[in-house]
Chains A and B, each alone.
Chain A
Amino acid sequence: TQLLEQSPQFLSIQEGENLTVYCNSSSVFSSLQWYRQEPGEGPVLLVTVVTGGEVKKLKRLTFQFGDARKDSSLHITAAQPGDTGLYLCAYQGAQKLVFGQGTRLTINP
């Protein structure tokens, strides 16, 4: 099983600030997925990135897949308290979905 390393593990910032979180590996992936998990709930798929160098935007969230398809980043512009949650990256292996350990993001009003 290939390993996904997410950083930082914890991030606490003020409302309105920008932030970037990372998902890194030494392996090459055909695609990577990003999920957000709110406290007491299951993960919800935000986006799947497929092509090396691909950039996808979801409102204030910008997802990028590395050129070599080994890493991905999530940038949030003007963070809001509603962005608080656990952000997980994952890859679809041959048989199963494999998750990183997540970045726990807290946006303070």
Chain B
Amino acid sequence: EAEVAQSPRYKITEKSQAVAFWCDPISGHATLYWYRQILGQGPELLVQFQDESVVDDSQLPKDRFSAERLKGVDSTLKIQPAELGDSAMYLCASSLEALNEQYFGPGTRLTVT
């Protein structure tokens, strides 16, 4: 069964360092999402792509976060510089099209020290 792949699964970094996460969606899925899930809370959307275009990044802290999906397939989420408050699970999800069922990857657990 096709799955959303994410790497790394775990990342520990010091504050002020740069960190990057990678996501490979299910093949053929046009819509890709990045969520942040703080411990004890539900996931919150950071950015949504339709193919290679950003359709919603209203909750992305653009002073330090960036996301790209250059060829409309896999995607990278970057944080520079990382802050202590960025410690969270970063989830990637994909769907055939927007508003279709979303399939989530296993996430990247980020700890900023």
Contacts and interface: CB of A to CB of B under 8 A. Distances in A.
Interface in B7-50: 9, 33, 40-45, 48
Interface residues of B, number: 23
A99 interface: yes
A44 to B, nearest CB: 7
B93 A100 contact: no
Interface of B: 4, 9, 33, 40-45, 48, 55-56, 91, 93, 98-99, 101-102, 104-107, 109
A43 B43 contact: yes
In the A-B complex, list the 3 residue pairs whose CB atoms are closest, starting with the nearest: A42-B104, A99-B42, A96-B45
A21 interface: no
Given A95-B56, A96-B48, A40 B42 contact: no
